[in-house]
Amino acid sequence: MIEKILIANRGEIAVRIIRACREMGIETVAVYSEADQEALHTQLADEAVCIGPAPASESYLNMQNLISAALVSGADAIHPGFGFLSENAKFAELCEQCEITFIGPDSKVIGKMGNKTEARATMEAAGVPVIRGTNGPVADAEQGKKEAERIGYPVIIKAALGGGGKGMRTAQNAEEFESCFMTARKEAEKAFGDGTMYIEHFVEHPRHIEFQILADSYGNIVHLGERDCSIQRNHQKMIEESPCAALSEELRGKMGKMAVKAAKAAGYTNAGTVEFLLEQDGSFYFMEMNTRIQVEHPVTECVTGIDLIKEQIRIADGGKLPFRQGEIEMKGHAIECRINAEIPERNFMPSAGRITDLHLPGGNGIRVDTAVYSGCEVLPYYDSMLAKLIVHGKDRKEAVDKMRSALGEVIIEGIGTNVDYQYQIAENEEFVSGNINVDFIRRLNGETA
């Protein structure tokens, strides 16, 4: 039985995991960098251990320090949250070697799904639809250009490892291919320490749809419906919602079955997400699999009533799924807005500093996941997300109205935020009507393709 969990993360996801553990009667160990000593997660956990200086590379990404903290504190499990080491196969393997339960899939599955070319080959072999592209990594720009001609322009050049929109460039034609390839590869090398690239045909104007899956160690796999993540800037999600307004019950069932098939093909356990690109004609293609909990998991929790963090812990502790596919019901509509410390009018420049005044909304159907408080310091070393504002209504119209109302209540002073920009989206006619795709933000900003 899992008795004590070390949370290898910070911010709102660390707070979210601590709360789930409290409800389950499980002790928690927070880790923190020297700069994060006063952070909320360190105050809420049963214990807190400093793991290094402010830079993430010396603290939250320091595998040895994290493992040492788990061993010293007597934690028998580690929850990685999202970001940092959550999809690092080596870290999961270290946990396994030290007989610490890693709350997520095993290291081999993380490695297989983290390598985008291997993941693509796995899905193709399983009969999951994939976008036409290279059958393996591309050695250099010259080979890449030949492959792009075969695939057909426009193409998207992607890092084989990593994610988060880094190491990605779109080439519209052969003339701009080489510069796009070199730029993407340099970015991948800097972000992930690996410049291996692959190429896919670029699907224009799709929706970004992801299916939440849960899989136990006994072969039981279910999906918990979809999330529409099409509102994104530079491949970074801004707003997510469930269900997707564009999916019929028939298409939802078809995509859900493919998501489950993808998880089975990967030999998956625990919580994960299968991501698809959806075209206007209903065609859809596997994009990638995220082998962790997602930032946007609360919208799925709202419409299904299932606590995903608790299910992660139960599965890692050897439990069976307590429900089958036919028992999962989606009720109402949920939307999440990411509140970031950034200044939209200055090209979304990150904003750090002390929060001098704070008011967050509440009320029926409104949830805020955050780790900020009045007087806390927003640090420049980490991700800019301050909070996730989640609303749940009986239908999409009520959810949109509720989100607009809730955004109007948010007060965060002392730093710049994107609250007004999110409110602008919530008022936009296209968004209100549900007429959205991955180009929405570009159109809103008046940018050309």
pLDDT in tens, 14-41: 999 999 999 999 999 999 999 999 999 9
How far is 248 from 67, CA to CA, in rounded Å? 46
pLDDT score of 403 more than 70: yes
Q: Which of 160, 244, 240 is nearest to 198 (CA)?
A: 160
* DSSP secondary structure letter of residue 307: -
**254 pLDDT above the threshold of 70:** yes
The predicted-structure confidence for 81-136, as pLDDT tens digits, reads as follows: 999 999 999 999 999 999 999 999 999 999 999 988 899 899 999 999 999 898 88
292 is catalytic: yes
Contact 81, 7 (CB under 8 A): yes
DSSP string, 195-214: --EEEEE---S-EEEEEEEE
Report yes or no: 225 and 212 within 8 Å, Cβ to Cβ. Answer: yes
Q: What is the model's pLDDT at position 165? A: 73
Does the pLDDT at position 166 exceed 90? no
Q: How far apart are CA 336 and CA 402, in angstroms?
A: 11
Q: What is the DSSP letter of 352?
A: -
Helix (H) or strand (E) holding 366: strand 366-370
Reported as a single tens digit per residue, the pLDDT across 184-237 is: 999 999 888 889 999 999 998 999 999 999 999 999 999 999 999 999 998 899
- Please check whether residue 298 is in contact with residue 242, taking contact to mean a CB–CB distance below 8 angstroms: no
Torsions phi, psi of 211, nearest 5? -110, 130
pLDDT digits (tens, 9 = 90+) for 264-321: 999 999 999 999 999 999 999 999 999 999 999 999 999 999 999 999 999 999 999 9
CB within 8 Å of 98: residues ≥ 6 apart: 67, 70, 71
C-alpha distances in Å from residue 361, one per residue of 121, 158, 248, 365:
46, 39, 33, 11
Place of tokens 């396994």: 96
Choosing among 3.40.50.970, 1.10.3720.10, 3.30.470.20, 3.40.50.10540, the CATH entry for 207-444 is 3.30.470.20
Tokens, residue 81: 């949250």
Catalytic residue among 16, 169, 207, 292: 292
pLDDT at 448: 58
Q: φ and ψ at 80, to 5 degrees?
A: -85, -10
Architecture, CATH, for domain 4-103: 3-Layer(aba) Sandwich (3.40)
Could you tell me the two tokens for 83?
Answer: 């970001």
CA distance 383 to 388: 13
Q: What's the rounded mean pLDDT across residues 433-449?
A: 86
Q: At residue 345, does pLDDT exceed 70?
A: yes
Residue 131: partners with Cβ closer than 8 Å, 6 or more residues away: 200, 201, 203, 277, 285, 286, 287
- Going by pLDDT thresholds of 50, 70 and 90, the confidence category of residue 160 is confident
Instruction: Give the model's pLDDT for residue 275.
Output: 97
Closest CA to 29 of 38, 41, 12: 41
Model confidence at 446, in pLDDT bands (50, 70, 90)? confident
pTM, to two decimals: 0.93
Residues 395, 333: contact at Cβ < 8 Å? yes
Q: Mean pLDDT, the chain, as a whole number?
A: 96
Check whether 449 has a pLDDT greater than 60. no
**Which pLDDT value is given to residue 445?**
85
Which of 266, 260, 315 lies closest to 293, judged by CA?
315
- In this chain, the answer to whether the domains covering 4-103 and 207-444 adopt an identical fold is no
In sequence order, the β-bridge partners of residue 150 are none
User: Above pLDDT 70, what percent of the chain?
Assistant: 99
Residue boundaries of the structural domains of the chain: 4-103, 132-201, 207-444
Q: Which fold has domain 132-201?
A: Dna Ligase; domain 1 (3.30.1490)
Q: According to the model, what pLDDT value does residue 191 have?
A: 80
